Amino acid sequence: MFGYSRKREWALASVRFEYAGGTYDGRGLLSWKPKRGFHVEAFLARHGAQLPQIIEFGKVGVIQPNELRAVRMRLEDGARALTSPICVSDHLELVGSPRLSADFPAILFVRPDPARGASAKLCGSAVLDVGKGIIFPDSLERETRLAGERLGHSFSRKGLAYDADGVKLRMSVGAAQCLEADWELSADVWTANDAWRFGEALADSLTFLAGRTVQLLERTVYRRQRIYIQRNAASPVRSLSLLAMAPREDRASDMIDRERLILLTKFFLRGQKEAFVARQMCAQMADASRQRTRAGRELLCATILEAALRTLDSHPFALGDRSWKIRHSMDTFRNKYLGPKWVSACAEALTAQKRLRHRNAHPDWVTDERGEALNAALEQSLDDTLRLVWFYGYVILALAGCPNLEPKFPKPHKQWGPMMTVTTT
C-alpha cells in the first residue's frame, strides 16, 4: 500500500457516518503519521432528522455503545476505508457549520484486486514491531548484486520458516527492527477469518515468548478479489523485564522457540475461553510492568491468579459470595492441565500469591520505619513475584496444550550470578 514509516495524505471523495438520527456526509482529507495515526479533516452536510434543540457536551459518565461511530470513507482512487470507532458526541464541531476533525488509531482499507482472481488460498501478511534483540531459529542471508556482480553478503539469526499442519509461515526482521511475516493457510483446516486474525495471534505469541509488548502495525489479507489492509498507529515496545512470563533456563537468552511459537499462535487463533484467559494474563502483566511503584506491580501481579482461575471455573466475583475457594479451583486446574507432579509447585504458587496480595492490600508503610524487617520482606516479595510470574507462564503453556511441562522455577535471586562481569585494572 505505502511505506509504514512514510507520511501520507489522501483526498477523500466521501466521508459518511450517522449521529443523533441523521446522516453526515461530505468530502475531506485523510493524513497518516506513524506515531500519531490517522487524522481526518472533513466538511460535512447533515441529512435526515434535525439535531435536538439541546445537546450536552462534556458530561462525566461511561461511553455508551450508541455513542460510538465508525466513519466510512471513499478515497479518490476508488478504495474504501472504515475507521476505528470514535465517540462523536465529543465533537462540538458537528454543531453549527458541521465539520469533523478527529484522530483515529486504526483504519481498515479495502481495495479491488482483480489480478489475483478468485483464489481459494487463505494468505496474508503482517508487519510487527518487535523491538531489538530477538533471535529467531533460522538464519537469514541477504546478498547484494549489481549487474550480476556480487557486492555484499550478510548473515543473521533473524528469520523463521515453518510449513506443516496446514500452516506455511515465513518471517524475517527487516528495517527498523520490524518483523515482516507472510502466511498461507490450508482451507481444509482454517477459515478466512483465521487468515485475518493470524497477525494478531502471532503478536500475542511473541509478546509472551519475548517478554515485551509486540505490536501489530499492519496486516494484509487477500480475499474474493479484494485486498484488506489494516494499519495501526505505533506505540513503544516495552520490555516486561523480570515480569516476562515465558519460562527459560537461560535468563539472557532471547531465542524464540519455533515449536512453542507455532503452538501458541494456533492456540490464540482458535479463540476459546483458554485463549481469552491467556491473552488477558499477558495484558495484565504488561499493565503490571508499567506500574510506577513496587506495591502496585506486586498487587496487580497477585490478582492475576484469582482472575484466571475464576474465569476458567466460570465463577465470577460477587459481593458476599464465599462459595468459591481458590485452592479447590487450583486443584481442578492442576488435574486438568498439569498433572500430579505439579502438586508442590501449585501449592507454592498459592503461598506466594497470598503473601504478595495480603502484604500490598494491607500496607504497613504508615508505621514502618524501613528497618531490617522491611528489607527482609522486600527480598521475600521479589522471590515470590518471580516464582508467581513463571508459574503464570506455565499456566499459559498448559492452556495452549504444551506437552511434558516440568516445574522448573528460578532460584532465589540472591543465588543468581551476574549478567556480566567487568574486570578493571
State yes or no: pLDDT of 176 exceeds 90: no
Residue 230, classed as helix, strand or coil, is strand
Strands 178-185 and 215-223: unpaired
Confidence (pLDDT) at 268: 96
Residue-wise pLDDT for 250-284, tens only, equals 655 678 999 999 999 999 998 889 999 999 999 99
DSSP state of 177: G
Higher pLDDT, 81 or 46: 81
Residue 96 falls in which region: left (phi positive, over 0), alpha (psi -120 to 50) or beta: left
Residue 417 neighbours by CB under 8 Å, 6+ apart? none
The stretches of 290-325 forming alpha helices (DSSP H) are 294-313
pLDDT of residue 273: 94
**Over the Cα atoms of the chain, what is R_g?**
26
Among all chains, which residue has been given the C-alpha cell 478479489?
225
Cα–Cα distance between 174 and 246 in angstroms, integer? 25
Mean pLDDT of the chain: 87
Predicted confidence (pLDDT) per residue in 104-150, tens digit? 999 999 998 766 555 557 899 999 999 888 889 888 777 777 777 77
- The residue that leads in pLDDT, 35 or 89, is 35
Which ranges of 124-231 does DSSP label H, i.e. alpha helix? 192-210
Name the band, by pLDDT with cuts 50, 70 and 90, for residue 372.
Answer: very low
Least confident of 4-18, 366-380, 403-417: 366-380
pLDDT for 325-369, tens place per residue? 999 999 999 999 999 999 999 999 999 999 988 877 766 655 555
What's the CA gap between 364 and 367, in Å, rounded?
6
- pLDDT exceeds cutoff 90 at 94: no
**Residues with Cβ < 8 Å from 198, sequence gap 6 or more?**
124, 126, 183, 185, 219, 265, 269
Query: What is the pTM assigned to this prediction?
Result: 0.87
- Residues 82 and 70: beta-carbon distance below 8 Å: yes
Average pLDDT rounded to a whole number, residues 149-163: 78
Residue 388 is placed in which grid cell?
508467581
Spatial CB neighbours of 160, under 8 Å, sequence gap ≥ 6:
136, 137, 138, 169, 170, 171, 172, 256, 258, 261
Q: How confident is the model at residue 174, as a pLDDT? A: 79
Mean pLDDT, to the nearest integer, of 358-387? 70
Dist CA 136 CA 186 (whole Å)? 24
Residue with cell 548473515: 155
Taking only the tens place, the pLDDT of each residue in 19-57 is: 878 898 999 999 999 888 999 999 999 888 887 777 666
**Pairing relation of β-strands 37-48 and 68-69?**
unpaired
- Residue 387 near residue 410, CB atoms below 8 Å: yes
Cell numbers 459481593 correspond to what residue? 319
pLDDT of residue 364: 60
Q: What is the mean predicted confidence (pLDDT) over 55-72?
A: 79
Q: Which tops the pLDDT comparison, 175 or 125? A: 125
* pLDDT score for 139: 81
Lowest mean pLDDT among 62-66, 118-122, 194-198: 118-122
Q: What b-and-e string marks burial along 335-371, b requiring 16 or more CB atoms within 10 Å of the CB?
A: eebbeeebeebbebbeebbebbbebbeeeeeeeeeee
DSSP 88-122: GGG-GGGSSS-EEEEEESEEEEEEE-TTT-S---E
| Burial label, 400 (beta-carbon count in 10 A; 0-12, 13-18, 19+) | buried
Residues 90-110 have a mean pLDDT of: 87
Instruction: Give per-residue pLDDT as tens, 212-221.
Output: 999 999 999 9
CA distance 77 to 93: 28
pLDDT of 321 higher than 70: yes
Residue among 222, 359, 216 at smallest CA distance from 296: 359
Residues 24/44, Cβ–Cβ less than 8 Å: yes
